[in-house]
Structure 1
């Protein structure tokens, strides 16, 4: 049989965790096939590693893919499938009568291009919009808890009524039936900060009934990280839902080592039969809206109400008292995105010194002016904690990044370097440093992450699997993005093939847009829709 593409002479690391073997890989009709006869095209991979495309389990590309469907920052690092809708910060579904503007403001962290037309209501309509954009990579999605809750309950500090809870579960069920791979929550983001156990259990029961995934941005990653882990495990025990603890870390020097205790709790839950796993990215700093630093009560009512509240001296005094006992200092927090480019790239402490004021005042001013549109890079993490999560048997990799266009609206500012280099960083630095072997690191980036998302037709180099393939020059592999200069593609990612189409060739994007929208549990799964 003539095949469309033959990748010849490489060392195949197949994504299962097995050692690499010298083998050719053949592709026909967008799938991996047993090596056959002549090939229409041959890629010489001698001296290089051939592995499955990376499945990024945790991303925030919900809106950036509509602005920048070539997904350059993601595809250049070897990502061939992205899972959007994490941390509860999704964009669909929206209840009838929901405040779309309020929801869009609440998820401003995702909203880098105001020109993106947000015209959908249902989850199926959102997936249709992604499919119409023709992305360069495959897209699966989680339902974000925030649009669900905000659309039905609103932004105030209150629990849903029984009727509202029924509406929440009905909307979720409809979104899962439309192809969502699961649900995510983000209990540090208002109004999800006000969600209680009854709501979380009711939603988890809907997810569990469909054997989908429930991903958690925990209620706290600082002083109360262990109670936050216990909260998620309690819901898992009550419902049997498959559970993913997102970007497990502990913030603030006084909390270093808490990750070990958290992993012990997870190990105990797994020993009891619960399906619980974790994910992490290979950096010692995170990226989130600056508003995450505010106490929950200060965020009540939505973005506009939060900003107005910051003009109240009494409220500001309470916020300052809250910040006085926080585990993370302002010198560890850098503004990395804001409508005012003059503040980008500076720590809050540096901005305070420049203005002749105190850091609390700078933070209050930024939040009052820009609300959820200002984001931060926050440090204060321990390398030992990071290695513990990356190497844990239940750990997989998710970049927590966004697919960005280096030259377009989504590429402005100083994004976290994970958007450009998370996977090369893991496969170079953390393999060379002994945290992981290369086959195990690749497994965590491919089949391990795919199976958590319920994706079964990708993640390994096996006949019959979709032809999502990466060719790595391991000797040159490096993350070149830095916090000071993040907009740089990595070295050593020579070729990326998505559904059989070369999308990166000799380190350059070909312009191919062969990605598919993967609708879980539907007849359209794995088909462009």
Structure 2
């Protein structure tokens, strides 16, 4: 009798000897599978056999009942195996769905993976590959002479553990640091525009000189040569708020030359979301760069419906031959540094200058005037992380009532004291817009979350529940409501996202692919994390396998840390480095 899903056991001799008493049997594979596995004979030693499940292979095809055979960290065959087949480990997935591990195209785990490499919040929801460096908020490369402290303050949203030592300069050195941490999942990385720009141009509102722009493009090319999967920008974050089209086009040309991805946190997601989409598509048209519009949404009731126009622009660009797609997560609230609410001019000069500016009455008056026209109010904004734990978990409006003052004053005080270290959860989104993006053929899924350790420094505060439950939420709620079929939802989470990042060796359950596999009990599948109680693992994710190694089972992390740094465009791509 085989054990239940999530209970991986080692098998011994069929005569009933103790587990591990003899080596696993070498079993025959069909010729095509043997060729895909690149074996010299039609026999291979199995490290893991997953039996009896319904395989939803990540291509969008309907599920079929099949066994999945794994050897050397690779899927070597998918089909029916004899009952007597032996293997080092056997996992019974009868009644369960077996699918590829989820490829999270959009995350901010750049530093949390160095603090918490077991990546518990990610792997427990089925994520086996994470793409870091999004929204322009990366941590490398850092030019010679860069203000490292200034950059670290500017990306404070990522910096949840002050104990993490920034000891790198080049992008390759940063990837080496991630590999040395031995994460539990695979990691691919985008170059963050912010450290690239701020390290050379600084934090003021000015264009780069021709020499500075040459230095930026050279540094970007070096990072792509070192294995970065692309570039991300975040045009709502200072100093990227000051970036002009010429810089974006110059950088995009370098990305296009490397056949890499350019991901955009747009310049606006509220009143000007459609012009912001046009800006990204204009750069794509000028350079031919593969383009990803990150977390496409429209904020504020008066902007609901704008997503439909944005998607029309994407469709027109694709019809013109541009490689453009979008991503989103299945929640009606986002998470970002609260400083994002400030007008661009108020953020000039970096974190320290911004905080000092908030002591100027004239500047404060201008900020208040700009806030009066914002699309969402302070009642829709909750402080979810700050050095002062007393403010965490409360809306700005509630904090104002407790203090006997107005919400603007509370927000200004928080920003003056904590700068980019205070972050918010912001609502103001429409369920219809969300469904339109999730169901669009050009969309894939990215959590916009972080890999966190509930028991460590990264587990503090009130994180957005997407860090714990994005994929179970999508595959339960948005399949149940008819937004997506299960096979199509899984495709958007696996091969669809992988191909956007240029990852070709994982994302499907087919022979020859890396053995990143998830076993789901679809009937129990649920996101149990909430905004009020976010640090909860989901139900129904019965087992997670990374590169052939069981990493979670029966709700527990096994301690395995089999993840690899996926260096794009190098001979080490897909290999631990």
User: Shorter-chain-normalised TM-score: which range?
Assistant: over 0.9
1:34 alignment partner in structure 2: 77
| Secondary structure of the corresponding residue to residue 214 of structure 1 | strand
User: 2:436 matched to which residue of 1?
Assistant: 388
The Cα shift of 1:38 comes to 2.1
Select 2:210's aligned residue among 162, 178, 195: 162
The match for 1:315 among 337, 343, 363 is 363
Cα offset, 1:40, TM superposition: 1.1
- How many matched pairs? 529
Specify the alignment match of 2:57 in structure 1.
14
Partner of 1:324: 372
Q: Whose radius of gyration is greater, 1 or 2?
A: 2
User: Paired residue for 2:7?
Assistant: none
Unaligned runs of 5+ in 2: 1-25, 27-44
| 1:292 lines up with 2:340 in the alignment | yes
* Structure 2 partner of 1:5: 48
Which of 419, 422, 439 is residue 487 of structure 2 equivalent to?
A: 439
Secondary structure at the counterpart of residue 203 of structure 1: helix
* Residue matched to 1:195: 243
Find the residue that maps to 1:46 and give its secondary structure: coil
Partner of residue 54, structure 1: 102
The correspondence for 1:454, drawn from 493, 496, 502, is 502
Residue number in structure 2 paired with 1:497: 545
Alignment of 1:333-412 (within 5 A): 333-412=381-460
Residue 507 of structure 1: CA displacement? 1.8
Picking from 124, 129, 144, the partner of 2:192 is: 144
Q: Determine the C-alpha separation between the residues in 2 that align with 1:130 and 1:277.
A: 28
Provide the rounded CA distance (Å) in 1 between the counterparts of 2:127 and 2:393.
Answer: 27
Q: Distance in 2 between matches of 1:238 and 1:41?
A: 52
Give the aligned partner of residue 254 of structure 1.
Answer: 302
- Give 1:193 shift: 0.3
Within 2, Cα distance between the matches of 1:34 and 1:351? 58
Cα deviation, 1:463-516, whole Å, max 9, x if unaligned, reads: 000000000000000000000000000000000000000000112100000000
Provide the TM-score with structure 1 as the length reference. 1.00
Quick check: 1:23 aligned with 2:66? yes
CA shift at 1:442, angstroms?
A: 0.1
Q: Which residue of 2 aligns with 1:129?
A: 177
- Structure-1 separation of matches of 2:410 and 2:101: 43
Residue of structure 1 in register with 2:40 after alignment:
none
Distance in structure 2 (CA, Å) of the matches to 1:390 and 1:91: 30
Whether 1:466 aligns to 2:514 is yes
Residue by residue, what CA displacement relative to the aligned partner does 1:416-472 show, whole Å, maximum 9, x if unpaired? 000000000000000001000000000000000000000000000000000000000
Aligned to 1:510: 558
The answer as to 2:192 corresponding to 1:177 is no
> RMSD of the TM alignment (CA)?
0.6
Between the aligned partners of 2:490 and 2:556, the Cα distance in structure 1 is: 22
TM superposition shift of 1:13: 0.0
Q: Tell me the distance in 2 between the aligned counterparts of 1:7 and 1:376.
A: 42
Q: Give 5+ residue unaligned stretches, structure 1.
A: none
Match of 1:488 in 2: 536
How many angstroms apart in 2 are the aligned matches of 1:353 and 1:383?
A: 29
Q: Secondary structure at the match of 2:263?
A: strand
Once the two structures are superposed, residues 329-387 of structure 1 have per-residue CA deviations (whole angstroms, 9 ceiling, x without a partner) of: 00000000000000000000000000000000000000000000000000000000000
Q: Hey, what's the Cα distance between the residues in 2 that align with 1:117 and 1:473?
A: 40
Pick from 303, 311, 314: which aligns with 1:263? Answer: 311
Name the stretch that deviates more: 263-272 or 36-45.
Answer: 36-45
